[in-house]
Amino acid sequence: MLSRKQTPRLAENQQCDTYAWFSQRAWVEIDLGALSDNVHQLRSLLSPHTELMAVVKADAYGHGAVTVAQTVLQSGASWLGVATVPEAIQLREAGIKAPILILGATHTLEQIHAIAHWKLQPTLCTPKQALIFSETLEAIKFTDSIPVHIKLDTGMSRLGTNWQQAGEFVQLVQRLPMLEIKSIYSHLATADSLDPQVMIQQHQRFEEAIAQIKALGIKPPCLHLANSAATLCDPALHYDMVRVGLAIYGLSPAVHLRSHLDFKPVLQLKARVTHIKTIAAGTGVSYGHRFIAPHEMRLAVVGIGYADGVPRNLSGKMQVLIQGRRVPQIGAITMDQLMLDVSTIPNIQEGEIVTLLGQEGKEEISADDWAEQLNTISWEILCGFKHRLPRVGVI
């Protein structure tokens, strides 16, 4: 019998049926209240005319794009940012009408068709791409012009035309039929760094580009530069819109930016104990017997593994929370299961809920903790949870 203690309330619009959810071995819990609150807090940093774009690429950083998009749009975000055309179509198919910027590069006939059909807004990175868009839209006899966003490279060395050619590029796009420049933007490479030097340089280059455009007699459209870190660290970087990802999910881009607001992590990772046994001193645990029990111990098997996105490199290093207490994971993490030393929790039962990421009482394990152990960043941790794990919205 599975334990039904610690049962969070399901969100009203949750499509997941309750029985199926109780029978889950593992799942990702999405706290929609926390998400909404994080967006409100971010909004409070912005001037009233600065728009908030919620970046929901990569399935909303693993949180579930549709539910996240619906919630953030109700909480003060007015734009959505995605990486790819299919990500945008998923939102449109769910009935979301807000403007959607595709942050990645698009070129193909199929992509341009979809952008026009679904009323999506592409990023234009080069004059060549602008020409392809303009010619393709004419060729398919599309009747309206489409809103486009000019991307400048001010130092990220990723997408975009070099900031020094901003004037030329904007002028070219302006002259092309079928394209209407909706915004001009750039992306910062080091906004989360303690050393502001590169960010200051990128900011200056962005300003130079704007000055060039103005000198040509062109009134700058919507301008945007800031990601989460820049939004938190300097209002001078907000311009007309900010593009916020990580912070809406309740994590901080850097330790020194943590004090700003009281963000709450939106995602919790949970699984159930599926089996409990006592093992004798000297017993090896899991593949390779990397762990040998130093004394008799109680061992719990949990129904989650690396195929769900728990990184195998955390084997023997991670802890989880059970009944508000920290418990060590032992032995190699396997594809679908992992083992715990639960000797300190005598009353543990099969079906009991284990928190791998999240808060129980005073104890908390965050994506930042995993990122630190794995020498990576919290963004990668959040994006790592696989679709085998249902996303369950709770309020």
Residue 261 lies near ligand PLP (rule: CB under 6 A): no
Q: Which stretch binds ligand PLP (CB under 6 A): 29-37, 203-211, 245-253, 305-313?
A: 245-253
- Position 187 contacts ligand PLP (CB under 6 A): yes
Give, in order, the Cα–Cα distances in Å from 384 to each of 37, 170, 235, 340. 24, 38, 32, 22
CA distance 182 to 174: 11
Q: Is 149 in the site for ligand PLP (CB under 6 A)?
A: no
Is the Cβ of residue 65 or residue 299 nearer to ligand PLP in the bound state?
65
> Does the protein bind ligand PLP through residue 41 (CB under 6 A)?
no
Closest residue to ligand PLP, judged by C-beta, is: 245
- State in angstroms the smallest separation of the CB of 205 from ligand PLP: 16
Interface pick for ligand PLP out of 66, 85, 103, 184 (rule CB under 6 A): 103
Q: Does residue 246 interact with ligand PLP by CB under 6 A?
A: yes
Among 167-175, 209-217, 240-248, 345-353, the segment contacting ligand PLP (CB under 6 A): 240-248
> Measured from the CB atom, is 245 or 358 closer to ligand PLP?
245
Regarding 63 and contact with ligand PLP (CB under 6 A), the answer is no
Q: Is 147 in the site for ligand PLP (CB under 6 A)?
A: no
Which has the closest alpha carbon to 185: 161, 217, 168, 164? 161
Q: What is the identity of the amino acid at 299?
A: L
Binding site, annotated residues for substrate: 158, 335
For the question of residue 141 being annotated catalytic, the response is no
Which residues 198-227 are close enough to bind ligand PLP by CB under 6 A? Answer: 227
Q: Give the binding-site size for ligand PLP (rule: CB under 6 A).
A: 11
Helix axis angle, 127-139 relative to 166-175, nearest 10°?
10
Decide the pairing of beta strands 325-330 and 267-279: unpaired
Given 129, 228, 274, 378, the residue binding ligand PLP (CB under 6 A): 228
Active-site residue flag, 19: no
Question: Per rule CB under 6 A, is residue 166 in the interface with ligand PLP?
Answer: no
CA angle at 367 for the pair 362 and 372, rounded to the nearest 5°: 105
Q: Does 160 bind ligand PLP (CB under 6 A)?
A: no
Told to check if 55 binds ligand PLP by CB under 6 A, we report: yes
Least Å distance, CB 119 to ligand PLP, is 20
Which of 5, 214, 277, 287 is the catalytic position? 287
- Give which of 24, 46, 43, 27 is closest to 35, Cα–Cα: 43
Binding status of residue 36 toward ligand PLP by CB under 6 A: no
To the nearest 10 degrees (0 to 180), the angle between helices 85-93 and 109-117 is 30
Q: Which of 210, 241, 244, 365 binds ligand PLP (CB under 6 A)?
A: 244
Distance CA 93, CA 8 (A): 29
For ligand PLP, the closer of residues 121 and 227 by Cβ is 227
In the complex, the residues that contact ligand PLP under the rule CB under 6 A are 55, 57, 103, 187, 227-228, 243-246, 253
Residues involved in catalysis: 57, 287
